[in-house]
Amino acid sequence: MDHRTKEEQVADFLREGIIAGAYPRGSRLKQAELAEQLNLSITPVREALKMLEAEGYVKRDSYRGASVVPFDPGASAEILQLRLLLEAQLVQAAVEKVTAGDLQELHALEAEFERAFSSGDRATARGVNYRFHRRLYDIAALPHTQHFVQILWARYPFDVINAAHERGNDASSEHREILDALAARDGSAAIFAMRRHIESGWNVLKSETAQSD
């Protein structure tokens, strides 16, 4: 059973869409269209956009309404270090709480990610990748830490990283390493695997940026 409010469900739907690239950076988010798409009233959509504005995913003004915030490339190095710190705490806590049912769900999401990437559906793969990490960090039951991580994700260029040709294959392998460590309840191995996963994406970003210069 989903215990989240409608506003929280809409906010999570939009976070995933922004990270997956379904709502490109700089694009407008029209409340009426979103409400119709989700078969909801305007109110939960409006409240969800307020939540995402506070987290840094969207910005609003009186002329254009809500739009997806562009990335700040200059902030990425600092965000990387914060991600490494906070996501290590989340994965350590998840190791201590994970159940067989949790692992089954995570393996199913990893398999879905691999299928999407293999079929060339990068947008779906990015969305599933978001759900994989979100589900993993839900297990940690550290809501304040997870909230700060979501704020960091708003400012991280996942679309550039995941557009790289071989990134999906590497990410699948890295996900499996994380899951193996979780299954073994090996906190040190899980933290190492998560750090390697994050740093691997960072190295892809640096390579892609260098090629575009």
Which residues touch 104 (CB under 8 Å, ≥6 apart)? none
Q: Do 27 and 131 lie in a common domain? A: no
Paired with 67 in beta bridges are 28, 59
How many whole angstroms separate alpha carbon 67 and alpha carbon 27?
A: 5
113 and 170 belong to one structural domain: yes
Q: Say which residue, 207 or 60, is predicted with more confidence.
A: 60
Return the DSSP state at 65. Answer: E
Question: Does residue 202 fall inside a structural domain?
Answer: yes
Identify the residue with better confidence: 33 or 2.
33
Model confidence pLDDT, tens digit, residues 122-175: 888 888 988 999 999 999 999 999 999 998 888 877 766 666 556 667 888 999
- The range of the structural domain enclosing residue 85 comes to 73-212
Residues 31 and 126 grouped into a single domain: no
Q: What is the CATH number of the domain that holds 41?
A: 1.10.10.10
In this predicted structure, what is the pLDDT of residue 131?
Answer: 93
Whether 11 shows a pLDDT value over 80: the answer reads yes
Is 93 a member of any domain?
yes
Cα separation of 103 and 203, whole Å?
28
The reply to whether 201 falls in a domain is yes
**What percent of the chain shows pLDDT beyond 70?**
88
Give the CATH number of the domain where residue 200 resides.
1.20.120.530
User: Distance between CA atoms of 191 and 84, rounded to whole angstroms?
Assistant: 9
Write out pLDDT tens, residues 58-68.
Answer: 998 877 789 99
d(CA 14, CA 38) in angstroms, rounded, equals: 11
Same domain, 96 and 187: yes
Is residue 156 domain-shared with residue 174, that is, in the same domain?
yes
Tens of pLDDT, residues 91-134: 999 999 999 999 999 999 999 999 998 888 888 888 898 899 99
| Amino acid (1-letter code) at residue 207 | S
Could you tell me if residue 1 is inside a domain? no
Of 68, 90, 112, the last residue of a domain is: 68
Is 132 a domain residue? yes
- Does the pLDDT at position 79 exceed 90? no
Has residue 77 got a pLDDT over 90? no
Residue 43 clears pLDDT 90, i.e. is over it: yes
From 161, 194, 162, select the one nearest 177 (Cα to Cα): 194
Domain count along the chain: 2
pLDDT band at 202 (very low <50, low <70, confident <90, very high): confident
Average pLDDT of the chain? 87
Check whether residue 63 and residue 82 sit in a common domain.
no
Please say whether the beta carbons of 17 and 127 come within 8 A.
Answer: yes
**pLDDT at position 166:** 60
139 and 196 together in one domain: yes
Q: Could you tell me the pTM of the whole model?
A: 0.83
Last residue of a domain, one of 52, 68, 84: 68
Tokens of 58: 């969207």
